[in-house]
Amino acid sequence: MERELNGRVAVITGASSGIGEATARALAARGASVALLARRVDRVESLADELSGAEGDAKALALEADVTDRASIEEAARRIREELGRADCLINNAGVMLLSPFEQGKVDEWKQMIDVNLTGVLETTDVFLGQLLDGGGDIVNISSVAGRKGIPSSGAYNATKWGINGWSDALRQEMLGTGVRIILVEPGAVATELASHISDEASKKRIDDMSENFDILEAEDIASVIEYSVSVPERVSLTEILIRPTEQPI
Ligand SMILES: NC(=O)c1ccc[n+]([C@@H]2O[C@H](COP(=O)([O-])OP(=O)(O)OC[C@H]3O[C@@H](n4cnc5c(N)ncnc54)[C@H](OP(=O)(O)O)[C@@H]3O)[C@@H](O)[C@H]2O)c1
């Protein structure tokens, strides 16, 4: 049986920009209700205004939430259940990429990446798992090429995404028989705000230069893969999807 998006309730972390925002648009256009989580609440509120009622009875709910603050995720989960119904699709998308050579010892940035990209994903999943298990659904974990390939100046980011890959495979096996699928998406370079927070100028330039050298992906390219992966028939598990710009070497 195909998993129609119409009538489903998708929770998207980091919905205020980039891949999360594009995914919210793609799922809402197929009739899913969307819960838009982010710290920049003004941005998710205006997206929710735009998407509400865009397709049939689909709703959009903006929620201020920080994936490193469990209480804010629990409050979001409570409001989603009350206002949209049971969440049956969780897109663990919120992330930060603070690149720098290891020798610079930017411990606070390593910790921030571990807190958001790794612990934040596990805790968010823990909070929503009860709703997902209550009838099945999909968990989409946004990893990266950096979850499979070590890249200089990317070591701590590599560690977080590599961690997500291992955890996703373990969780997929634990979820067998429950109707919950685990889908891992590993993008290469995508044009978003992600690199704008990098404090090391050389690392930031390396990322910015990519778009000078070849056509990098658009957030919509990843959104359409996510949309497809959650709507294939229930017997199909798109377990791991690596998607690069055609000319990206690593
Ligand atoms: N762009 C790429 O080349 C690329 C490649 C591979 C993988 N990815 C992954 O794709 C995901 C989305 O990134 P993007 O490229 O779309 O970048 P982006 O535009 O910077 O989006 C990142 C999102 O994460 C949210 N976020 C950051 N810290 C958060 C926190 N503590 N709590 C809640 N939300 C938080 C941000 O929202 P607020 O600031 O409003 O909270 C923002 O919406 C990330 O996991 C990233 O690692 C991106």
pLDDT at 55 over 80: no
C-alpha 32/C-alpha 58 separation (Å) is: 6
Q: Is 118 in the pocket of ligand 1 (CB under 6 A)?
A: no
Name the average pLDDT for the chain.
97
pLDDT at 220 over 90: yes
pLDDT at 229 over 80: yes
Q: Which of 13, 39, 72, 123 to mutate to test the pocket of ligand 1 (most atoms within 8 A of CB)?
A: 39
Q: Is 17 in the pocket of ligand 1 (CB under 6 A)?
A: yes
Q: Which residue has the tokens 């992966």?
A: 229
Q: Which atom of ligand 1 sits closest to the CA of residue 197?
A: 20
pLDDT tens digits for 142-198?
999 999 999 999 999 999 999 999 999 999 999 999 999 999 999 999 999 999 999
C-alpha 194/C-alpha 113 separation (Å) is: 12
C-alpha 34/C-alpha 188 separation (Å) is: 25
Q: Which atom of ligand 1 sits closest to the CA of residue 44?
A: 40
Q: Nearest Cα to 156, choosing from 207, 102, 206, 92?
A: 102
pLDDT at 7 over 70: yes
Q: Which of 23, 67, 96 to mutate to test the pocket of ligand 1 (most atoms within 8 A of CB)?
A: 96
- By CB atoms closer than 10 A (0-12, 13-18, 19+), residue 53 is exposed
Q: How far is the CA of 193 from the centre of ligand 1 (A)?
A: 8
- From residue 214, alpha-carbon distances to 146, 147, 148, 222, 244 in Å are 19, 22, 21, 17, 11
pLDDT tens digits for 77-123?
999 999 999 999 999 999 999 999 999 999 999 999 999 999 999 99
pLDDT tens digits for 120-147?
999 999 999 999 999 999 999 999 999 9
Predicted pLDDT of residue 222: 99
Rounded to two decimals, the pTM is 0.98
In sequence order, the β-bridge partners of residue 180 are 137
